[in-house]
Amino acid sequence: MESPRPQLSQIELQQLRWFLGGLIGIVSAWTVFYTEVDAMLPLGVITLTVPVFVVYPVLSQALPALFHRLAFPFIVSVFALDLWGNRQPLPAMIRLDLMLLGYRCLSPRGRREDLQLILLALFVVVVTGVSTISPAFVVQILFLTGAALGLLLAVTLSESRAASLADNVFGWEQVSWRDLLRRLWATADIRVVALAGTLFCGVVLLSALLFLALPRFEISNDFFIGGQINKSSRTGFSENILFGELNKIAQDSGMAFAVDVSDPGALPAELYWRMLVLDEYSGQGFRASAGLRNSFSPSREKSVVHGGIGRAREDRTVWTIYYQPGVSRYLPLMGGFSRLYFGAPQSLSQSPALRIAALPSEPAQMVGYRVEGMDTDGVLRDRLFAREHILPAWDSPRARMFFNHAALPRESAEDETSVGRAGGGSEPNFLELNGVALGDLDKLRAWVTEIGGNGAGGPEFARSAGAWLQARHIYSLDSTTPAGEGDVIVRWLDSREPGHCELFAGSMVLLARVAGHPTRLVTGFKGGVWNSTSGSITVRNSDAHAWCEIWDEEIGSWVRIDATPGAQITPSNTAAEIKAGASRMEQDTGWSARLDGVRVFWYRRIVNFDQTAQLELVRGTKDQLRTIMLAVRELVDTRLRKLVEWFWQPWRFLRISVGAASLGVIVAGVWFWRRSGRFWWMDWRSLRSGSYRQDPVRREASRWLSRLQSRADLLVESQPPGLVETRGRLLRLRYGSREGWAPPTEVFNEARRQLRMLVRAKRPNSKKI
Amino acid sequence: MSDHYSANQLSVARESLQKIRVSMRGTIKGKDTVIDQVLIALVAGGHVLIEDLPGVGKTTLAYALARSMDCVFSRIQFTSDLLPSDVTGVAIYDETIKEFVFKKGPVFANIVLADEINRATPKTQSSLLEVMDRGKVTVDGQAHAAGTPFMVLATQNPVDYEGTFPLPESQMDRFLMRLHMGYPQAADELEILRSARTGYDSIAMDPVVTRSEILQLQKLAEQVFIEETVLDYILRIVSATRTEEDFRAGVSVRGGLALKHAAQSRALLEGRDFVVPEDVAALVVPVLAHRLTLVRPVSDGMEERRMVGAILKRIVSSLPAPV
């Protein structure tokens, strides 16, 4: 009984090291999945082989010596070729790290190799974590820290007992992970585990406090890894969208972006997040014409962007958007805005006329930005367009003045296939029908006639056309365009097939243009759900949508038109709809909402954490602490005051009796618990326990035996009567059959009494014993 | 580890063992530990190999044990020309009844002293295998039960290798313990010198326990309780011998069982009906040492035994006992 607890044997420590090393290798390697580094081969090899080698370590011993001899030259050669071929140092280094990691996980390891493994894992986790800045990084780094600490502890324990583990291969063929788990459980001391857990939490807390206190900096901009690991677009929002592409995006339920709103009550009933405006019809889809692309200003690095054309300048609502990587380089915005902020200077180009802002490339990591004074009503005033293009209806006399009908293909002998452009090649043209063949154009004209509304304004025509479309086609995500020759839209319009948003929006654009109304296709997201966990809006890729904007010359603005069934064709202008509030939105309360909430918290507090937010958080924490302290002080003061008041009240017999009785009950309760209660409780639990570790009587007996053992010096000098007998009874409680037990309560009380007598006997001038 | 038995049974058992102990101590001076270990082997139903120099009291110990009990004692002096049938017995043709009759050999006793066992050929040594294992001798297809209780006390000289045949490992594994007598303390030896006794035949001892009492003790020993953590302790010790790089091979399963039975017997000898870790630790060397051989052989047999014992003690001290 020298050691208080059993310990893991040498071979068990070896097995633990092997297991932890393999686990660290696998988990750290998998972090590369978050990046776009092409490392599928080493990742695949690690994923397939390492788990097998971890479970069956004997395989590691079976590897031929030639494998170990050739491994390092092979890895170095592959790295050199990789570097030479791809000219990208960081991805090559990550692949090199993965290869080394894989080799270290497969081959037998000693202390040095274990330390190498930890360093390799740390490298890959930190590099991928810093480059992606995803919430998973926290989980990975915490896991790696815990596992690496466990591995280092196992290394220290085993190295203190033996010279080298790598040479000792005994027992590998007999590894039983279940037994190892059982032994770990048996040897784990709850106090040590609790202490380790507390220390770990303390370190994490301290790190968090340091994080709060440290000056902010944009990590990706300050390190060389920014831009080295680019993540390509996941969803395909680009300047050239073919019909069906957006529909594919809608199949993905991943989060596209999250939005914090300073005033949830200001949320409109329908949220349309504009990302791209497309004007040129290609026959297979829409694309941005050269003129449209030219309307973007050159990229400039800045922290604050002044939109200057948001009508809602008086609106103090602040929208903070956490934009996921890989969606698109175009930022989702609902309309014009007065100001747009980034946490750190950011390259941005914008088209004020289109109310579109774009980053230079798809961001590889989350981008956070705040927007103030954003228009949400679906009406975009465009004074420039109104001044430069006086656009009457197609058949009106004014139109003939502005559009050279003689140049139209119907009247042109030179080009019989397409409608001529009204404007110059470098200007966006929202009336263009280049991609429509003549025959198809006739059909479109016939449908426009059928729809009617000649001479009406754009929105009026759109409402009529929308109703006409919705009467002919129903909405379906699984819809396909009818086979055949000719224009896709015309073929679909000619049929009664169901359609998706792109077909409805595309049809609306063509019909409106034929009717003489400047119209453009808009892609982005519609809607979103209110995440009550995080108090934010979650917009998923499945919310991807296409709609169009039609020119309303009455008000000189572009008006949103959504012809897709189920949607309101033109925006509502009632106050109740414009400010419907979050309660009107679809609520998301499931597990995915909680995960999204964690992600938003990460973005709010970690990634998008600038100095302003830092100050806010520190002030908030300070205020919270002060509030809690004040509340506690008030509570204590109140209780004390009441106690004092109660004490100074006249002491009548009843009060004295109640007080004495209460005190007596408490004292008796404590005395009873200490004397018998806890042992009864222990005995009761002992009967239900299945093993020594769960048997409180055996554990308590063990404790008393240890105490007696620790007082061996006293035992030598004086032997109180009955001590040997008590020790025998304790031994029986600890090691004996339950049937032969004396009542544990009596034995423990006796042991306490004996020990007290021993201690008293030891005191100087003691007369007892 | 069957049902718990009464305190009365325990005190009776303790009293019986104490009587044998006192009786033997009257004859064997200054060898209390060895006496206790022999008693442990007896209660565990095992056999003992006493390995020491000639003339230190090995035969006397066996004789004293046999005489302390109401048991049949026989002695076999092993020599190189001893035949198996000289040990087990032989079937001879009886003219009067016209049949082969089995004439029992000296092994048919309760306490058998196999003196200088390593002087016999391996074939003769092996004749003891069956009876040590099963308590039976099979001759001409017929099994003949040896005495109950049955215990073999074999002796051998570890120094004099001239004309000896070392016991094979399988034979060694059959012995529960290997003991060493050692020289007595000066005071004890002086007392031995003062006594007029010259040979063990002149030892006058009366039996203090009956055979049935011994059988009852053996039955009780089997019922001594072993708690899970103590069993785990035994397992860890046995496993450690298997991973110890200085040993050619670890202890067999039989060795682990022997340690358990011996620990149970020691607990009974100490008046307990449960095993404590000290019981196990105290018996590791006597129960396991003779089952282990070193990877690097040592020319001196005594030195090898000392090294094996030291390694076992190191293993025991490195493994924390359950508390």
**For residue range B7-18, what is the model confidence (pLDDT) as tens digits?**
778 888 888 999
Q: What is the pLDDT of residue A714?
A: 59
Residue B230 lies in a domain: yes
Q: What is the pLDDT of residue A167?
A: 45
**CB A256 within 8 Å of CB A327:** yes
Phi, psi of A202 (to 5 degrees): -60, -45
The verdict on B202 and B179 lying in the same domain is: yes
Neighbours of A655 (CB within 10 A): 12
> Which sequence spans correspond to the domains of chain A?
10-222, 240-376+592-611, 384-521+547-579, 666-762
A198 vs A191: CA distance, rounded Å: 10
Q: What is the pLDDT of residue B159?
A: 61
Asked if A692 lies within 8 A of B225 by C-beta distance, the reply is: no
The verdict on B98 and B194 lying in the same domain is: yes
Residue-wise pLDDT tens digits, A416-474: 333 333 334 456 677 777 777 777 788 888 888 888 766 677 888 888 888 888 888 88
The two most distant CA atoms of chain A are separated, in Å, by: 132
User: Is A221 within 8 Å of chain B by CB?
Assistant: no
Q: What is the pLDDT of residue A768?
A: 41
The verdict on B186 and B258 lying in the same domain is: no
Asked if A737 lies within 8 A of B245 by C-beta distance, the reply is: no
Q: What is the pLDDT of residue A418?
A: 33
Chain B positions touching A9 (Cβ under 8 A) are 236, 239-240, 243, 319
Residue B54 lies in a domain: yes
Chain A positions touching B319 (Cβ under 8 A) are 9
- Rounded to the nearest angstrom, the minimum Cα separation between B132 and chain A is 31
H-state helical runs in A230-359: 245-249, 290-294
Q: Which CATH code for domain A384-521+547-579?
A: 3.10.620
B40 closest CA partner among B218, B248, B209, B303: B218
A388 vs A424: CA distance, rounded Å: 13
Chain A positions touching B1 (Cβ under 8 A) are 737
The verdict on B118 and B178 lying in the same domain is: yes
The tokens describing A421, both together, are 């452009």
Prediction pTM value: 0.47
Q: What is the pLDDT of residue A766?
A: 47
Half-sphere exposure of A472 (CA within 13 A, CB side): 20
- Rounded to the nearest angstrom, the minimum Cα separation between B99 and chain A is 55
* CB nearest B320 (choices: A2, A170, A739): A2
- Burial status of residue A613 (CB atoms within 10 A of its CB: 0-12, 13-18, 19 or more): middle
The tokens describing A34, both together, are 């978050």
Provide the domain count of chain B: 2
SS3 of residue A37 by DSSP:
coil
**CB B83 within 8 Å of CB B124:** yes
- For B3, the closest chain A residue by CA position comes to A739
Q: What is the CATH number of the domain that holds B321?
A: 1.10.8.80
What is the ipTM score, two decimals? 0.82
Residues with Cβ within 8 Å of B196's Cβ and at least 6 positions away in sequence, in order, are: none
A126 vs A28: CA distance, rounded Å: 9
Asked if A10 lies within 8 A of B239 by C-beta distance, the reply is: no
Residue-wise pLDDT tens digits, B111-169: 898 988 888 888 888 888 888 888 888 888 888 888 888 999 998 877 656 777 888 88
Phi, psi of A110 (to 5 degrees): -105, -165
Average pLDDT on B207-222 reads 91
Q: What is the pLDDT of residue B201?
A: 66
Residue that is last in its domain, among B215, B239, B264: B215
Residues of B with CB under 8 A from a CB of A: 1, 3-4, 225, 227-230, 232, 236, 239-240, 242-243, 245, 272-277, 318-323
Residue that is last in its domain, among B162, B191, B215: B215
CA A386 to chain centre: 44
* CB nearest A706 (choices: B4, B236, B323): B323
Q: What is the pLDDT of residue B42?
A: 93
CA trace torsion A709, A714, A715, A719 (10° rounding): -140
Average pLDDT on B49-78 reads 86
DSSP string covering A559-608? EEE--STTS-SS----HHHHT--GGGSPEE-SHHHHHHHHHHHHIIIIIT
* CB nearest A735 (choices: B239, B274, B320): B274
Residues with Cβ within 8 Å of A536's Cβ and at least 6 positions away in sequence, in order, are: A258, A259, A260, A261, A530, A597, A600
Instruction: Tell me how many residue pairs between chain A and chain B have CB atoms under 8 A apart.
Output: 72
The verdict on B181 and B253 lying in the same domain is: no
Radius of gyration of chain B (CA): 20
Asked if B323 lies within 8 A of A731 by C-beta distance, the reply is: no
- Rounded to the nearest angstrom, the minimum Cα separation between B282 and chain A is 13
B284 vs A77: CA distance, rounded Å: 56
Q: What is the pLDDT of residue A421?
A: 36
The tokens describing B266, both together, are 């020691």
Residue B293: domain span:
224-323
Q: What is the pLDDT of residue A530?
A: 86
The verdict on B120 and B82 lying in the same domain is: yes
Half-sphere exposure of A101 (CA within 13 A, CB side): 34
Instruction: Name the least confident of B32-36, B136-140, B250-254, B274-278.
Output: B136-140
* CB nearest B274 (choices: A4, A161, A732): A732
Residue B18 lies in a domain: no
Residue that is last in its domain, among B158, B189, B215: B215
Q: What is the pLDDT of residue A297?
A: 79
The verdict on B237 and B186 lying in the same domain is: no
The verdict on B59 and B154 lying in the same domain is: yes
Residue B23 lies in a domain: no
The verdict on B86 and B133 lying in the same domain is: yes
CA A335 to chain centre: 27
The verdict on B168 and B116 lying in the same domain is: yes
Interface test with B, best of A175, A735, A739, A741 (most B CBs within 10 A): A735
Q: What mean pLDDT is reported for chain B?
A: 86
Q: What is the pLDDT of residue B160?
A: 59
The verdict on B204 and B233 lying in the same domain is: no
Residue B5 lies in a domain: no
Residue B3 lies in a domain: no
Asked if B273 lies within 8 A of A737 by C-beta distance, the reply is: yes
The verdict on B127 and B40 lying in the same domain is: yes
Q: What is the pLDDT of residue A1?
A: 38
Low-confidence ranges of chain A (pLDDT < 70): 1-7, 36, 130-134, 159-174, 210-239, 244-251, 307-315, 387-428, 453-455, 573-582, 604-614, 686-694, 712-721, 761-769
Asked if A692 lies within 8 A of B227 by C-beta distance, the reply is: yes
B22 vs B43: CA distance, rounded Å: 16
Residue B202 lies in a domain: yes
- For B243, the closest chain A residue by CA position comes to A170
Residue length of chain B? 323
A512 vs A458: CA distance, rounded Å: 8
